[in-house]
């Protein structure tokens, strides 16, 4: 059974850094688009960053508010996805989820087949 397990969340002061990891098991995700989402308190889930597979050039995409502060990466031999988060601010507080293997409707990503359970990130001022 395919599983994604996030780790690395925690509490940090504004301006600090955290690195999230998402380890996959039961399936090889090297041919999949992978992504990080977050859900802030009282808000809908939003896409934070995504990365394509090697065939598509490991193309990265970011939410505008995290550009220049967050870096998504993947280590396919380890079946692991990462999110390096620097210069954190209180707006980054939320539960962060990793997702793998995009589902498409009309050529647009509408969902992912696999989701992790989430890891809490809390940024205090």
The answer to whether 5 and 25 have CB atoms below 8 angstroms apart is yes
Beta bridge partners of 100: 34, 114
pLDDT tens readout for residues 31-68: 999 999 999 999 999 999 999 999 999 999 999 999 99
Residues 125/65/102/8 CA torsion (nearest 10 deg): -30
The answer to whether 100 and 121 have CB atoms below 8 angstroms apart is no
Structure confidence at residue 101 (pLDDT): 95
Residue 24: pLDDT band with limits 50, 70, 90: very high
Residue 27: pLDDT band with limits 50, 70, 90: very high
DSSP 23-69: EEESS--TTS-EEEEEE-TTS--EEEEEE--GGGT--EEE-GGGTTT
């Amino acid at each position: 059974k395919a599983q994604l397990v996030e780790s690395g969340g925690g509490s940090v002061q504004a301006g600090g850094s955290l690195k999230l990891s998402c380890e996959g098991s039961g399936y090889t995700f090297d041919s999949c688009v992978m992504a990080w989402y977050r859900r802030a308190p009282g808000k809908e889930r939003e896409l934070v960053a995504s990365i394509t597979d090697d065939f598509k050039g490991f193309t990265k995409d970011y939410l505008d508010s995290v550009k220049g502060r967050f870096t998504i990466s993947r280590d396919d031999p380890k079946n692991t996805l990462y999110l390096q988060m620097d210069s954190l601010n209180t707006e980054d507080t939320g539960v962060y989820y990793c997702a793998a293997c995009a589902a498409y409707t009309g050529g647009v990503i509408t969902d992912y087949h696999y989701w992790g359970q989430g890891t809490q990130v809390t940024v205090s001022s």
